[in-house]
Structure 1
Amino acid sequence: MAQNPAPHPGRPLLAEDVLLVLFQPASGTIAGENTLFYVLAGAVLTELATQGHVTVGEPGLGGARVEAVQDDAPADPLLRQGWDYVATKPRSAQTFLAAVGPQLRGPVLDRLVERGDIRREKRKALGLFNSTVLTDGGGRRADLVEGVRAVLEDGAPPEPRTAAVAALVSASGSLPQLYKEIPWKSAVITRAKALEQGDWGADAAAEAVTRTTTAIAVNAVTTALVAANLAPPQS
């Protein structure tokens, strides 16, 4: 069994939390692989805007406009890639997702492995062929999923980061695959859609930037999935 490497320093990115929730330990797979790069890019966009590195306009005819805040590049290299893309000129949110997303899965997964949240283990298939499987590395995924479940099923007041994770996971169309941990029922569907649209409840008023930016990013993800004929299931 492979040993865990040293944990990655610093707080996990929102994209890391989204990917970790989508990871399915029972099968060693990631839910929603077909939509994953759009969702991870949406998480990067949300984080860039929340931290003030970019501004995101309201959705319009051509989609929301993403513009870099000059001389305020993020230190994190994954966020920096997204910032660099809009630093030369403003882009639509959909263009941002399509350009930035395809490069994210590998580095984000590597970070989760570095942190010990996911393990890569070497195994032999049929006793002959070496293969690498992904397994759960510890308790952080369980804590994240429980936080999302409490918000969606129990109606718990959402902490902004948990609400953003829930909204992005919902936008991916992958919540039904998590039914063993987050029951797929009408109340959960309704709450998830409300979070997607920025309805986080009165207590979230102080988190207006995160709420609004997440809603814009989710809208961009949904638009991209529809355009790619990968629309999530309708309730």
Structure 2
Amino acid sequence: MLIAEDLLLLAFDDTEGKPVSGVHNLDQAVAGALLLELTLRGRVDVTGEADEGRAGRIVLRDATPVGEAELDGALEALAEKEGAKPKDAVNRLAKDGPVDRLLSGLADRGVLKREDRKVLKLFPVTRWPAADCRHEEQLRTELHRVLVEEAEPDERTAAVVALLVATKSVRHAFPTDDPQLTQKRAEQVAEGNWGSDAVRKAIDEVTAAVMVAVMAAVVTTS
């Protein structure tokens, strides 16, 4: 399961099959998740002082295909944006509409169900209710362990938390009895040293870029 798919499972209501209230601009969030996963896998990085050209720009460290269609498509798109700022890379990936493809893929694998409906018998909409909740239940159990019990996260769980913080979705996607405490813990995790030293700066740049892209989308749509 991709980090981007985990993000979608948390963002969508299992019964209604639509994003939970308070979760917006999922294309930017999912694009950031793809970029972050490629960073963690050592395929993409953000330039530093030791690199030629400007620091803080997207660079491909390894163009070898990952073997996951969505990640490989993102890798090809990023090859065209090499040298771009992370926020521009996020926006580039978001333009490809990754959310619908990932939702369709989850439905094909039996994790979600695709339901085509009409609102007021006129306007077609697609809903994605849960079909098999086992992976999401494991994910939420792990998030509870990290955010409520304050256990140390593994790299993957920390990445999911960092994206929830960047998109201001912690309280909406992972409600708890004490949302303020959960938010504070999530921010601690997001800012912690859960990535290797080699990729920590890139992780910070990518999550910051997601926040910028999401906030810009909010301003544009409002």
Q: CA RMSD in A?
A: 3.0
* Partner of residue 38, structure 1: 28
Question: Structure 2 vs 1, CA of residues 122 and 108 (structure 1 numbering), >3 Å: closer, same or farther?
Answer: closer
What amino acid maps onto 1:90 in structure 2?
Answer: G
Tell me whether 67-76 or 160-169 shows the greater mean CA deviation: 67-76
* Partner of residue 138, structure 2: 143
TM-aligned CA deviation for residue 72 of structure 1: 2.4
TM-aligned CA deviation for residue 140 of structure 1: 1.2
TM-aligned CA deviation for residue 185 of structure 1: 2.3
Asked whether the equivalents of residues 46 and 210 of structure 1 are also in contact (C-alpha less than 8 Å), the reply is no
Asked whether the equivalents of residues 54 and 69 of structure 1 are also in contact (C-alpha less than 8 Å), the reply is yes
Question: Structure 2 vs 1, CA of residues 144 and 131 (structure 1 numbering), >3 Å: closer, same or farther?
Answer: same
List per-residue Cα deviations over 1:175-202 (Å, max 9, x = no partner): 222354x3452221111112232x15xx
TM-score (norm 2): 0.80
2:93 is equivalent to residue 100 of structure 1: yes
- Superposed, which structure 2 residues align to 1:28-177 within 5 Å? 28-31=17-20, 34-57=24-47, 64-69=56-61, 71-88=63-80, 89-102=82-95, 103-121=97-115, 132-138=126-132, 139-177=134-172
What amino acid maps onto 1:21 in structure 2?
Answer: L
TM-aligned CA deviation for residue 218 of structure 1: 1.3
Question: Structure 2 vs 1, CA of residues 155 and 122 (structure 1 numbering), >3 Å: closer, same or farther?
Answer: same
For residue 116 of structure 1, give the secondary structure of its aligned residue in structure 2. Answer: coil
TM-aligned CA deviation for residue 104 of structure 1: 0.6
* Partner of residue 219, structure 1: 208
TM-aligned CA deviation for residue 63 of structure 1: 8.4
For residue 118 of structure 1, give the secondary structure of its aligned residue in structure 2. Answer: coil
TM-aligned CA deviation for residue 14 of structure 1: 1.3
For residue 66 of structure 2, give the secondary structure of its aligned residue in structure 1. Answer: coil
For residue 16 of structure 2, give the secondary structure of its aligned residue in structure 1. Answer: coil
TM-aligned CA deviation for residue 143 of structure 1: 1.4
TM-aligned CA deviation for residue 157 of structure 1: 1.2
List per-residue Cα deviations over 1:65-109 (Å, max 9, x = no partner): 111235524332211222222324321111111111132111111
Task: Give 5+ residue unaligned stretches, structure 1.
Answer: 1-11, 231-235
* Matched length: 211
CA distance in 2, matches of 1:98, 1:75: 23
Question: Structure 2 vs 1, CA of residues 183 and 218 (structure 1 numbering), >3 Å: closer, same or farther?
Answer: farther
For residue 64 of structure 1, give the secondary structure of its aligned residue in structure 2. Answer: coil
Q: 1:195 aligns with which of 168, 171, 189?
A: 189
Higher strand fraction (1 or 2) = 1
* Partner of residue 6, structure 1: none
What amino acid maps onto 1:227 in structure 2?
Answer: A
TM-aligned CA deviation for residue 124 of structure 1: 8.2
Could you tell me the percent identity over the aligned residues? 27
CA distance in 1, matches of 2:178, 2:26: 20
For residue 135 of structure 1, give the secondary structure of its aligned residue in structure 2. Answer: coil
